[in-house]
Copies of this chain bind each other. A is one copy, B any other.
Amino acid sequence: MTELLVTEFVERARRHHPRRSVVGYEHGTEVLRYDYGTLAERVARLAGALQRLGVRPGDRVATLCWNHHRHLELYSAVPMVGAVLHTLNLRLSAEEIAYIVGHANDRMIVADADLVHLLDGVRPELGVIDSGAALEELVADGPELGMPPLRSEHDLAILCYTSGTTGRPKGVGYPHRGLYLHTFAACLADGHAISARDTVLHVVPMFHANGWGVPFAATMAGAAQVLPGPHPTVAELAHIIERERVTYVGMAPTVAVDLLAHVCREGSDVSSLRALVLGGSTPSVDLIRSWEELGVPVFQGWGMTEISPMATFTRDPFPPDDPAERHRRTRTQGTLLPGLQWRIVDDEGRELPWDGESAGELLVRGPWVVDAYYLGEAPDRFVDGWLRTGDVATIGTDGRLRIVDRTKDLIKSGGEWLSSVAIEQALLADPDIADVAVVGVAHERWQERPLAIAVLREGATAGADELRARLAQRVPRWWLPEEIVLVAALPRTSVGKTDKRRLRAQFAGTTTSTGKG
């Protein structure tokens, strides 16, 4: 039997796409350009050096790195010696990183120089290798890895911790087998369709759920890969897209908003893009329409760290001519990738129909859905082989997913579930509101009631009462937040999502006593 190992992809690229490039940028300037032949050789030397340093099969080798070529090399080199690449999230605090490094019991850490301060809390005896000169020396001196150790497709290749919005971060270990199948799924004609024709720009952090799996997919397909380096700004991204004729890029909607503004202001040439893939939160119609007007097709993918992460895609076999209907479909979370299965269930675990109305918790299973957390934490999230996603969703008769809410973001008001996301969407329809979050606060009569924290659009002058009055015209009375609090900006998590956990803590004292709704 052939074991399914993701470490084969770099060898495939060397043999079958030797002339395709890996390109590195730093602060908008090209600093490196080599081909897959060189990548494969460097990976083999790096693997040999790691082995000589004493890294053994099963060891965790952590990275605290931006998206650069050495991070890409480690993606293959660490699993090649049978070890596990543990990607650390550089947006976490030193304290959180210390917890995660300790929990994973990492053997060594490769870190970018400007991020080393985040390792202040880790145990001092842990080896920290600078990802720059020190790693380059390892590559230069490394003996090419001869015979790699025997590995099974069930061995872990990568380990990544969730961002921990629901408690302590949990480890998600990816076996080769799941990542291998996820890579094939990413290259399906009906999926992201990553191919040898593509030039891929890695904007999604490679520490975040395998960079959405695109580094492996691009390597397997023999696509050109461009790495933007540390702290990429939207100006740098626009410049790189134009200069490298990038065809495929994925990013969070917030980044796409800023990039769009830059592109429109500077007139950057983005005509090479065949796919702008958005993920992490639902993009607005405005955002989709504006990119389409630039000639860039927009897709949405939905996934989770626990799903490697891709689960859905919004590619439409027969896109409608009507732009409104097209945008509506792109704003759903799309249809399920082949290989996966899903269902929505009510509180008692009973399956709900695909009618676009019935909302329940989304369960997912399949070859690249992990079936346990690292070291077996939170076993209640896995039921009979299904992952409980914690997302509340509907599935339409057309098989399109719509995430309605996180289970923990639902507000229980007078025995009824209120969707914070639905109230947020209604508030965002107000032209004066730029950003908003709705959380539940304790209420003595109704148990819980919604509270909105909003950011005004530049130049808007409406007060909280006026905004609330306007909203009352558009939503059922019982949806109306007890209060709208105006703030300058919303707090964000390490992956750019609104940090509702922090908002809930901040406004926990805002107990209300009378239901104005």
**A421 interface hit (Cβ, 8 Å):** no
Contact residues in B for A193 (Cβ distance below 8 Å):
189
Q: Which residues of B contact A196 (CB under 8 A)?
A: 190, 317
| Given A16-B335, A16-B336, A339-B184; A190-B371 close (CB under 8 Å) | no
A197 — which chain B residues lie within 8 A by C-beta? 317-318
Find the residue from A4, A187, A222, A338 having the highest chain B CB count within 10 A.
Answer: A338
Across the interface, which residues of B come within 8 angstroms of A341, CB to CB? 8, 12
Query: Which residues from 221 to 250 on chain A have a C-beta closer than 8 Å to any C-beta of chain B?
Result: 221-222
**In the assembly, what is the distance between CA of A350 and CA of B351, in Å?**
58
* Copies of this chain per assembly: 2
- Interface status of A366 (Cβ within 8 A of chain B): yes
CA distance A194 to B187 in the complex (A): 12
A220: interface (CB < 8 Å)? yes
The answer to whether A2 touches B367 (Cβ under 8 A) is yes
Q: In the complex the two chains form, what is the Cα distance from A162 to B415 in whole Å?
A: 66
A221 touches B190 (CB 8 A): yes
What 0/1 readout, one digit per residue, does chain A (394-421) give for beta carbons within 8 Å of chain B?
A: 0000010000000000000000000000
Judged by a CB distance under 8 angstroms, whether A385 is at the interface is yes
Inter-subunit contact B221/A369 (CB<8 Å): no
Q: Which residues of B contact A185 (CB under 8 A)?
A: 184
Residue among A17, A196, A341 having the largest count of chain B Cβ atoms under 10 Å: A196
Q: A317 vs B9: C-alpha distance in the bound complex, in angstroms?
A: 18
A168-225 with Cβ < 8 A to chain B? 181, 184-185, 187-190, 193-197, 220-222
The residue of chain B having its C-beta at the shortest distance from the C-beta of A371 within the complex is B1
* Chain B residues near A8 (CB-CB < 8 A): 341
If the complex has contacts A2-B385, A196-B317, A399-B15, are A184 and B338 also in contact, measured as CB distance less than 8 A? yes
Docked complex: A7-34 residues within 8 A CB-CB of B: 8-9, 12, 15-17
Q: Check if B2 sits within 8 Å of A369, measured CB to CB.
A: yes
Closest to A335 in B: B16
Q: Does A365 contact B (CB under 8 A)?
A: yes
Which among A2, A185, A194 has the highest number of chain B CB atoms within 10 Å?
Answer: A2
Contacts of A220 in B (CB 8 A): 338
Given contacts A15-B399, A16-B336, contact A2 B189 (CB under 8 A): no
| Residue of chain B at shortest CB distance from A3 | B367
> Which residues on the B side are within 8 Å of A189 (C-beta)?
187-189, 193-195, 221
Name which residue of chain B comes closest to A368, CB basis: B2
Residues of the B chain whose Cβ atoms lie less than 8 Å from the Cβ of A371 = 1
Give which listed residue, B4, B9, B335, B367, contacts A367 with CB less than 8 A: B4
Chain B contacts for A184, CB-based, 8 A: 181, 184-185, 188, 338-339
* Chain A contacts to B: CB under 8 angstroms: 1-2, 4, 8-9, 12, 15-17, 154, 181, 184-185, 187-190, 193-197, 220-222, 317-318, 335-336, 338-339, 341, 354, 365-367, 369, 371, 385, 399
Selected A-B contacts with CB under 8 Å, 24 pairs: A2-B366, A2-B385, A8-B341, A9-B338, A12-B338, A12-B341, A15-B354, A15-B399, A16-B335, A16-B336, A184-B185, A184-B339, A187-B188, A187-B189, A187-B190, A189-B189, A189-B194, A189-B195, A189-B221, A190-B221, A196-B317, A197-B317, A221-B338, A222-B317
